[in-house]
Amino acid sequence: MNRLQEDLARHLSDSVERLQKQVEKVEFWACAVTGFAQPVPEYEPESTQVGRYVKPKRSPRKRRHRSGTRSKPKDVTPASA
């Protein structure tokens, strides 16, 4: 009879341990779903870390091409030739 009680106690303990792991997973996913259910806040660049580096009401600068890379004179030969 003692062996039967030990087996039952071990099975009960294992079941409780599996249940605790499942509860942890449920809590994790419930928290994740709650976070995704919130609306996305309005973007305010002045209140972000990047906002410190961007001057207000100034459009970004256009990229300029390097001078001399667009067209080469035809009579110039490379130094390696």
Number of domains in the chain: 1
70 located within any domain: no
- 0.95 exceeded by the pTM? no
Gap between the Cα atoms of 30 and 25, Å rounded: 8
Lookup result for tokens 């972000």: 48
Residue 75 is predicted with a pLDDT of 67
Gap between the Cα atoms of 7 and 5, Å rounded: 5
31 located within any domain: yes
Give the pLDDT confidence of 2-59 residue by residue, as tens digits: 999 999 999 999 999 999 999 999 999 999 888 888 887 787 767 777 766 766 665 6
Question: What domain range is 33 assigned to?
Answer: 2-39
If phi > 0 it is left, if psi is from -120 to 50 it is alpha, else beta; for residue 18 that is alpha
* Cβ count near 8 (within 10 Å): 10
Gap between the Cα atoms of 68 and 77, Å rounded: 14
Residue 63 is predicted with a pLDDT of 75
